[in-house]
Structure 1
Amino acid sequence: MSITLRDKTIHLEGRCGVEEAEILLGHLSTADVRVDLGGCEHLHAALAQLLMAAPVPITGEPGGFLGTWLLPFLSAQPNPDGNTG
C-alpha cells in the first residue's frame, strides 16, 4: 500500500494510484494530520484533487514533476487558519 497513516502523518510513497483515493480521503478526515510527499514518485490526479481540497499541511519534497510543479501549488493552499503557506 502506498498510503499509510503513522503518528498523525499521512505518508504517500512510491506510485499512488486512483485506487487509493478512498483510503486517502479516510485518512484526511483524521483530526490534525499532515501529509508527507517525500517518498511519492507518482500521484494520480484524483489524489492531487483531494489534497487540494483538504486544508492540511504538506511536508516532504518529492522529486521530478511533483516537486517542481505540484508541491508549490499545494503549499500555497490555505491552511486551516485561512492563511496560505
Structure 2
Amino acid sequence: MTVRIDADAIHLVGRCAAEDADTLLVAVQEAPGRTVDLGAAQRLHLAVAQVLLAARPPIRGVPPGDFLARYLLNLLQ
C-alpha cells in the first residue's frame, strides 16, 4: 500500500495512484493535524496532489524525485 498511517504521520510511499487519494483524504480528515511524510514518494497522481493542496496538512520530508521536490513542495509550503 502506498499510503501508510502510523501514530505520528501519514506516509506516502512509492507511486501513489488515483485510488490512494480516497485513503489520504480520509486519513487527513480523521486527524487534521497529522503530518504527511513525502520522503519516500516517487510519483503522485494528480488526485493525491489535489487532496494535499486542498487539505494543507503539515508536510515533512523531501521527495526523491526532482519534479515533486521542486514544484509540489513549493505549492504546499
- Normalized against structure 2, the TM-score is what? 0.90
Structure 1 portions without partners, runs of 5+ = 76-85
Partner of 1:41: 42
- Rg (Cα) greater in structure: 1
Partners of 2:8 and 2:53 in 1: how far apart? Answer: 19
Which ranges of 4 or more aligned residues in structure 1 deviate by more than 4 Å?
none
- Which letter does structure 2 place at the counterpart of 1:51? L
After superposition, give the CA deviation of every residue in 1:17-57 in whole Å (9 maximum; x if it has no partner).
Answer: 10111111110112221100000000000000000011311
Partners of 1:62 and 1:9 in 2: how far apart? Answer: 15
Is residue 2:53 matched to residue 1:52? Answer: yes
- Which letter does structure 1 place at the counterpart of 2:24? L
Aligned residues: 75
Identical counterparts, % of pairs: 44
Structure 2 portions without partners, runs of 5+ = none
Taking only aligned residues, the RMSD between alpha carbons, in angstroms, comes to 1.0
Partner of 2:26: 26
Partners of 1:34 and 1:59 in 2: how far apart? Answer: 7
Partners of 1:22 and 1:11 in 2: how far apart? Answer: 14
